[in-house]
Amino acid sequence: MSDSDSGSAATHTPSAGEIRIRAATIGEPQRLDGQIELCAYDASWPGLYEREAQRVNAVLGDRVLLLEHVGSTSVPGLPAKPIIDVLLVVADSSREEAYVPPMEVAGYFLRIRERDWFEHRLFKGPDTNINLHVFSAGCVEIERMLGFRDHLRSNASDRELYAQTKRELASQHWNYVQEYADATTDVVETIIARAGLPARS
């Protein structure tokens, strides 16, 4: 490596997005440095969700206030990253001692902690590639996630708009997957407004 290469690496200035990603991620964030893998809708995705739901319910019991399949893999006909998004609602997501230890024993691991965004937490799973989102009861993001899913399931034109936007963005180069997700915000908020759901907080 030349001296100039070394100096360039040493003076890397992270973007605001990278700083936010690093602040929320437990451990080192995984870089993508490439395009997003989008897959055609796979009829096996609901079954993968059901397996996770059974496992989470068995682990947490009555601490589970709501458990739902969300995200693009929950919408038939929509292309998606092959990652199953799961919404878990507990009494208070900030009280990690109430639910994180038994989840870790079952093979899940806490990957994201966002204290300044509805005390959102995110687990990765023991086998299937999942994003298990945890929110507190009453959080407005629960209504938004479920309403967005339900609207896309029933509205073909908005489903196609979202699919086309995802394809266009997925073909671009991204340092982190979260940067791609952030880039979908405008179309997501447009659809959410049409669906009569609360605006982003």
Q: Is the pLDDT of residue 9 over 70?
A: no
Q: What is the domain extent for residue 112?
A: 45-194
In a domain, 20, yes or no: no
Q: Is residue 117 part of a domain?
A: yes
pLDDT for residue 8 is more than 60: no
Write down the pLDDT at residue 121.
Answer: 98
Return the CATH number at 57.
3.30.460.10
How far apart CA 120 and CA 116 sit, in angstroms, is: 8
Amino acid at the residue 110: L
Beta bridge partners of residue 90, listed in sequence order: 136
Taking only the tens place, the pLDDT of each residue in 104-154 is 999 999 999 999 999 999 999 999 999 999 999 999 999 999 999 999 999
Residue 34 within a domain: no
The number of folded domains in the chain is 1
pTM above threshold 0.85: yes
Supply the pLDDT for residue 4. Answer: 44
The string of pLDDT tens digits covering residues 17-68 is 899 999 999 999 999 999 999 999 999 999 999 999 999 999 999 999 999 9
> How far is it, in rounded angstroms, from Cα 47 to Cα 13?
43
Residue 123 belongs to a domain:
yes
SS3 of residue 175 by DSSP? coil
3-state secondary structure of 69: strand
Has residue 151 been placed in a domain? yes
Residue 182: strand, helix, or coil: helix
Residue with tokens 């009453």: 138
Q: Is residue 172 part of a domain?
A: yes
pLDDT per position as a tens digit, 148-184: 999 999 999 999 999 999 999 999 999 999 999 999 9
C-alpha separations of 26 from 31, 139, 141 in Å: 14, 23, 22
Residue with the larger pLDDT of the pair 1 and 63: 63
pLDDT band at 2 (very low <50, low <70, confident <90, very high): very low
Helix (H) or strand (E) holding 53: helix 45-60
Of the candidates 186, 26, 17, the one whose C-alpha atom is nearest the C-alpha of residue 120 is: 26
Cβ of 16: how many Cβ atoms within 10 Å? Answer: 7
pLDDT of residue 10: 55
The secondary structure element, H or E, covering residue 112 is: strand 109-114
Has residue 2 been placed in a domain?
no
In a domain, 85, yes or no: yes
